Amino acid sequence: MKSIKYKGEKQRLDIYVSGLLDITRSQAQKRIKSGEIKVGGEQVNPSKMVAQGDVIKISEKISIQEKKEAPDVNIVYEDENIIVVDKDAGVVVYPADGHDSGTLIDALRDKIGIQDEERPGVVHRLDKDTSGLMVFAKNQKSLEHLQDQIRDRKFEKTYLTLVWGKVLPEKGTIDIPIQRSEKDRKKMEASSTGRESLTEYEVVKYYDGMTFLRVKIITGRTHQIRVHFAGIGYPVVGDKAYGSRSSVIPAQAGISRQFLHAHELGFELFGKKYHFTSELPKDLEKLLKLKENQ
């Protein structure tokens, strides 16, 4: 194990390790509890106060120089209260199992003044492979105000999606409760015992065997759009989790993820109204053009 002699003022071990390794405090706690990080050769509690002269031993498996990689982030708006970003597909919003770094939070943490180890300023989320608009709060008051609007269903989120099949009627509301799957805890499922989930949709254009839709979610359940449309027989194109294997578009067709894009955001904050729009990214636009030429 590598040894470091602590030279600072007294502080909790987990806080020191978090800064040393540039990881979240909860991640530091896990490494301390696993015995990868010790004080004076002994396994200790993450809350142990370290003082000047203490010898902290760190497993050779851990690279002290290793820093969390921050993705490139497209900030479309920023003021003293919020940051609005246009997220690329493939980017994770906050650390989770298998994704300890390279998240949007890694890129934005220095701009956000909220003391939360895992999800500072996160108002809502997008799946890793869903692109589009997100808003982050820079302070606690803004976070609470925006979360209140989501709870009161005044926070507007509109998506563009392409699904398999010809969706009829051309306008409608999907009202199907959703809950976490008992068989696979990483997935959600339609269930009469789930939480109320409402999705409004409108057909933009029909393609051969597919429908391009504008979708507004009234509630914000995990994977709501994907679960709802799969549940009524129109899975989102490219969705590997909720579509059948035969329904997934091959990568050479221009898309290697689900066709789902957060197109518009609308909300109010401290008396000011905000509205943002993000057009389809190139990979999704490419597939539409391919279908138009068929």
- Residues serving a catalytic function are 127
Report residue 30 CA to chain centroid gap.
22
Backbone angles phi, psi at 59, to 5 degrees: -55, 145
Q: Are 190 and 227 in contact (CB under 8 A)?
A: yes
CA nearest to 11, candidates 20, 2, 24, 23: 20
Handedness of CA 150, 152, 155, 159 (dihedral sign): positive
CA nearest to 283, candidates 90, 103, 135: 90
The secondary structure element, H or E, covering residue 78 is: strand 74-78
Give the Cα separation of 89 and 275 in Å (integer).
Answer: 22
Q: Are 53 and 6 in contact (CB under 8 A)?
A: yes
Q: DSSP assignment, residue 99?
A: B
Handedness of CA 219, 225, 230, 233 (dihedral sign): positive
